[in-house]
Structure 1
Amino acid sequence: MPTRPAFALLLDVDGPIASPETRDVAPEIISLLLKLATAGIPVVFNTGRSDEFIKRQVMAPMMAAGMPSTLKIHAICEKGATWFTFDADGAGEIHVDQELAVPLHYADEIRELVTTEFDGHMFFDETKRAMVSVEQHIDADSFEYRDAQQQFDSAAMQAMGRHDLGVERLDVRQPDSSETIDYRVDPTIISTDIESVELGKDLGARRTLELLASDGVEPASWFTVGDSRTDYAMADWLAENGHMVSHVDVRPGDGIPSGKSYPILTAKDLGLGREVIHDHAGLAFLRHWHSLLG
């Protein structure tokens, strides 16, 4: 018979878990993640980050904090393009869906573009295996970065056109010569991801269910957690596929979508003020969920 925990956690990493300012994960967050997972609550990361980032910022601190030998954690990275499982001995095999990778010749051009024109504000993420990502330098001024990001995103779209690759960015669509769009330029508050349109937090949710099913785990319900509108795709997919789910938005200032079929929670539901966002809100919810275990 499958194991049926009361709920499972499907967590975006940047924002809810890792600080957008420092990229670090607070020790109490690491401790609570371990306590929840050890108590039988599935904890799965569903992120645009690379496996190297998860291994460095999440896995290593969990191991250092005393991860039980019987515990394993799944990580879906690059919005579903890569995934792996780790335990107290470290990371297992890294799986990569090469069919969803951005062409190498395009990645090479973007690397050169960042190095020659945008190095003062951002860097090329060499750890990505399928996506192409650039990220704000920690010491870069955020206002200046966002201006540079607009210029970079425009240059990235132009490069797509030169390679006859169809691309979209927000509401702008730029089809290839066969009128198709296979790629997306996706800006966040600290980065820009260039990726296959098939990638997304919904794909991460599907891979999560496959991994838990192989473990013989069928959660009775879910909490998905994110800090952007694209993170709602986790809850959308779970709800559309018959799962009971609530979504936690740790940065609701962008506006909460209407018409969703599932509950949407913010720090306000825990009696906290509007200023409690990002990993501070993530920490508050982890404390709350841990308290439910008795």
Structure 2
Amino acid sequence: MSTPPFGLLLDVDGPIASPVSRTVAVGSIGGDLAAMANAGIPVIFNTGRSDAFIAEQVVPVLRAAGLQSSTPVHTVSEKGAVWAEVTPQGLGEISVDEELRLPVALGEEVRHLVAERFSELMFFDETKRAMVSVEQHVEVASEDYLAAQKEFDAAIGALLEKRGLDEVRIDPTIISTDVEHQRLGKDLGAARSLSLLAEQGIRPQAWYTMGDSRSDYKMADWLHEQGHTVSHVDVRPADGIPETEYPVLVSESGAIHDEAGAEFLSRWAASL
């Protein structure tokens, strides 16, 4: 059994990728992640993003930073429904939990809804395998998108009621809306992550989790409940920091999103 000093369980939008550009900035983030992974630190992206987003936006940054083969890097995408190993060559075999995949017909209805009423503000994410998601166009002002999002979410609620999909929920973020099975979440992603590491004989002595929303606390909650030592980094604390039984860390400089994420990654990499 390998027992690295810590493992990283990371949301992607916000801490790693800018929620404005939807890309990973060229700078220290890729280098620090690759350096820690190459030293045997597990790095797992616990994200609502699709595996395609990880392959297109994250893997090239890690490859350019010198990520080596056979490192403990994984993506657990779509909030626990999809998972794969991350390598310098790309993603390994992609697994999907079929029990959590939404009906194809629902996706078609949402795609049609976006095309008919909301295409100027948002787009249908064609890369999702289990969830149904729409996302704000990068060039659209946030206030315009958020105003339309309320109308869109209400329309989705009507679709779910019509189909009798009681086990499906609507989860809006500042740049998207996810329609997903109610079992999905960052806690499921955390459980999936530890299972992947257990298959490799890896059990970190402690964990750092990182996110930009209240739902990201669920991964730290789950780890704490399972008896793991964990600290959570909130890179957008303006929403308010809830009371927790584990430490919550924020940027000392006041940075948010990926700038705050970069601060902590550099600190952890330097500690090795």
TM-score in terms of structure 2 length: 0.98
For residue 248 of structure 2, what is the aligned residue in structure 1? 264
Q: What letter is aligned with 2:168? A: Y
Counterpart of 1:225 (choices 201, 205, 210) is 210
* Preserved contact between residue 72 and residue 87 of structure 1 (Cα < 8 Å): no
Q: CA deviation at 1:134?
A: 0.2
Q: CA deviation at 1:192?
A: 0.3
Q: CA RMSD in A?
A: 0.9
Inter-partner Cα distance in structure 2 for 1:71 and 1:138: 33
* Preserved contact between residue 71 and residue 88 of structure 1 (Cα < 8 Å): no
Q: What letter is aligned with 1:251? A: R
Q: CA deviation at 1:86?
A: 2.1
Q: Quick check: 1:188 aligned with 2:173?
A: yes
* Preserved contact between residue 30 and residue 62 of structure 1 (Cα < 8 Å): yes
SS of equivalent residue, structure 1 residue 246: strand
Q: CA deviation at 1:69?
A: 2.7
Inter-partner Cα distance in structure 1 for 2:247 and 2:215: 16
Q: CA deviation at 1:105?
A: 1.0
Q: Which has the larger radius of gyration?
A: 1
Inter-partner Cα distance in structure 1 for 2:99 and 2:71: 31
Q: Residues 82-101 of structure 1: matches in 2 within 5 Å?
A: 82-101=82-101
Q: Residues 96-245 of structure 1: matches in 2 within 5 Å?
A: 96-166=96-166, 182-245=167-230
* Preserved contact between residue 16 and residue 282 of structure 1 (Cα < 8 Å): yes
Q: CA deviation at 1:228?
A: 0.2
Q: What letter is aligned with 2:9? A: L
Q: CA deviation at 1:88?
A: 2.3
Q: CA deviation at 1:39?
A: 1.5
SS of equivalent residue, structure 2 residue 99: helix
* Preserved contact between residue 41 and residue 72 of structure 2 (Cα < 8 Å): no
Counterpart of 1:281 (choices 256, 260, 263) is 260
Q: CA deviation at 1:163?
A: 1.1
SS of equivalent residue, structure 1 residue 146: helix
TM-score in terms of structure 1 length: 0.90
Inter-partner Cα distance in structure 1 for 2:270 and 2:64: 24
Q: What letter is aligned with 1:20? A: P
Q: CA deviation at 1:72?
A: 4.4
Q: What letter is aligned with 1:190? A: I
Q: Residues 67-86 of structure 1: matches in 2 within 5 Å?
A: 67-86=67-86
For residue 171 of structure 1, what is the aligned residue in structure 2? none
Inter-partner Cα distance in structure 2 for 1:196 and 1:208: 19
Identity of aligned residues (%): 55
For residue 9 of structure 1, what is the aligned residue in structure 2? 8
Inter-partner Cα distance in structure 1 for 2:208 and 2:270: 15
SS of equivalent residue, structure 2 residue 178: strand
Unaligned runs of 5+ in 2: none
Q: CA deviation at 1:66?
A: 2.6
Q: What letter is aligned with 1:278? A: H
Q: CA deviation at 1:64?
A: 3.0
How many pairs were matched up? 271
SS of equivalent residue, structure 1 residue 13: coil
Q: CA deviation at 1:291?
A: 1.8
Unaligned runs of 5+ in 1: 167-181
Q: CA deviation at 1:155?
A: 0.4
Q: 1:42-87: per-residue Cα shift (whole Å, max 9, x none)?
A: 1110000000000001012212333223324110000000000021
